Amino acid sequence: MSGTERRRGGGRYPVAAAMELTTDLGPESIPGEFWGEHTSPVARALLSSAVQCFARKGFHATTTRDITAVVGLSPGSLYVHFASKEAVLFHIARTGHERALAVLAAQQDDGDARSHVRRLVAGHVSWHARHHTVARVCQYELAALAPEHLGEVLDLRQQFSAMLRTAVERGAREGVFDVPDIDRAVRAILSLGIDLVRWYRLDGADSPEALGESYAELAARMLGAPSPTGEGPG
């Protein structure tokens, strides 16, 4: 790989695009419970510090000293809680994907395919907006994971696609959606919700919920099912 390129999810893109990911991350904070009740307070602090470091500098440019300095610990203290820096990244990526997937799984299916898809999209988008820094690491640093860890995360990612695809397929069968290629439509809709982590700020014009509603409307139109004016995501 040349010095003018950096890996992004197995592909390549110019350094200029990478620098776009390292602008001011805004006021997002990560609650301790995000990391799970069995994660110690020190490990939680290290994970939250690592999120900020990885999002700003990238995994490879971040040192253990960078991560531990934020919480006032020595570099070696990281290994008391994690086997390696890669293990820290894996914990972040797995937890972020699990939290986002839980939001989609919680969206009620009331038998109306259109409203169900809108709720799925709104939940997907609003989660990625509210947790945009964690999501940025989850999306742009996966290539640094060990193969077995990457495989586990990719399995979680497939569940996002399967959940939305099932809802869209049902709507297509019922004549609610008019979409010539369901797989392409699902990839496009999920990609829109993920791409916002490059630029979204919690102190910007749109709240996560407002952005979710807007993207849900866009998704409905992409699927050939525009909703009545003023209708929300379900």
Residue range 84-124, pLDDT digits in tens: 999 999 999 999 999 999 999 999 898 899 999 999 999 99
pLDDT at 108: 87
DSSP string for 101-167? HHHHHTS---S-HHHHHHHHHHHHHHHHHHTHHHHHHHHHSGGGS-HHHHHHHHHHHHHHHHHHHHH
pLDDT at 233: 40
Q: Assess contact for 91 and 36: CB atoms under 8 A.
A: no
Give the predicted TM-score (pTM) of the model.
Answer: 0.82
Instruction: Using a pLDDT cut of 90, give the percent of the chain over it.
Output: 74
Q: What is the pLDDT of residues 32-69, one digit of tens each?
A: 778 988 889 999 999 999 999 999 999 999 999 999 99
Among residues 147, 165, 199, the alpha carbon closest in space to that of 24 is found at 199
